[in-house]
Amino acid sequence: APPAMLYGRRIWVLRPFLELRRADIRAFLGGRGIDWFDDPSNENPLFERARVRASLAASGDAPPPWPGGQLRIASSARAAVLLGEHLRVHEGLVAGVAATQAGRMDDPDWRRALMTVGAVIGGREHLPGRATIERLSGFLESGQAGRMTAGRVVFDRRRGGLYLYREPRNLPVLRIDASESGTWDGRFNITSAGGALTICAEAEDGAWRQRLIAAGLPEGVAKRASLVAPHIAPADVGSLGSMAAEAEVECRIGPYDTFLPGFDRIMADTIALLFGRDRYPSPPVDDGLTEMAG
């Protein structure tokens, strides 16, 4: 686990004792007459963490203060650079990848970065499973044009590049009361700026399609992606109404907006900026990322 975790984009949860040995903490408490509670699961060999601790204790080695932490930070930093160089997000609906980068799924940093962006596009908090990623990697590495769906996201491979957009099915209808907020399809945070709202999928001839075409996307991609854009109307008009309504709309970064491990903050900031959001707040103590992010 990381020594720092951001919850809800607002609260940093810190674990300052990760670098201390359990025996040292117990000695400190015992010397001051302070009791503690031992979690039985910490000694249960059914759990991997208990087996690792027992192995380290038997060898006399000190446990690493942050297992894999520096490697994860370096991976996050490199993934952020790759995203900045090769990926663009259009209207929060479509991620476009340069053709020269689209098939490089043998690069673990790029693969993780692309899958994380895919999770945002699909309104998911987690990446697809290993088997799904392996199938998708094979498809993208083949270089052949076509489409494959994974994690509610269409990976549309064309000669000019790769495009990611939400698949047009199982799209919800959401009602938001006056001056309230809600999350639609896991992808957009929407706040009413007036009365009650109804949010559903955009109609085929909506304005989103024209905006995507104006952004330079292929017409077929723009058409499909516009079908999964949010249509916001006054609630008394209903989901079939065509009236627009006043609302504040922002993209939700599913993998990080609830829980952000500190070692992923560099990549998370890059993804947030790509989707038109602000950077995540820095922790109240130095986490060693500032220099790498610069």
Contact (CB, 8 A) for 232 and 244 = yes
Predicted confidence at residue 64, as pLDDT, reads: 55
Sign of CA dihedral 89, 91, 93, 96: negative
Identify which of 66, 74, 62 has the alpha carbon closest to the alpha carbon of residue 22: 62
DSSP readout, 266-277?
Answer: HHHHHHHHHTTP
What H or E segment, with its residue span, contains residue 149? strand 146-150
In three-state secondary structure terms, 270 is helix
Task: Answer whether residue 184 shows pLDDT above 50.
Answer: yes
Q: Please name the amino acid found at residue 83.
A: L
Q: What average pLDDT score do residues 40-60 get?
A: 76
Task: Answer whether residue 202 shows pLDDT above 80.
Answer: yes
Sign of CA dihedral 194, 200, 206, 212: positive
Render pLDDT for 3-42 as a digit per residue (tens, 0 to 9).
899 999 999 999 888 778 878 888 998 999 999 888 888 7
Percent of the chain with pLDDT over 70: 89
In three-state secondary structure terms, 166 is strand
Q: How far apart are CA 127 and CA 168, in angstroms?
A: 19
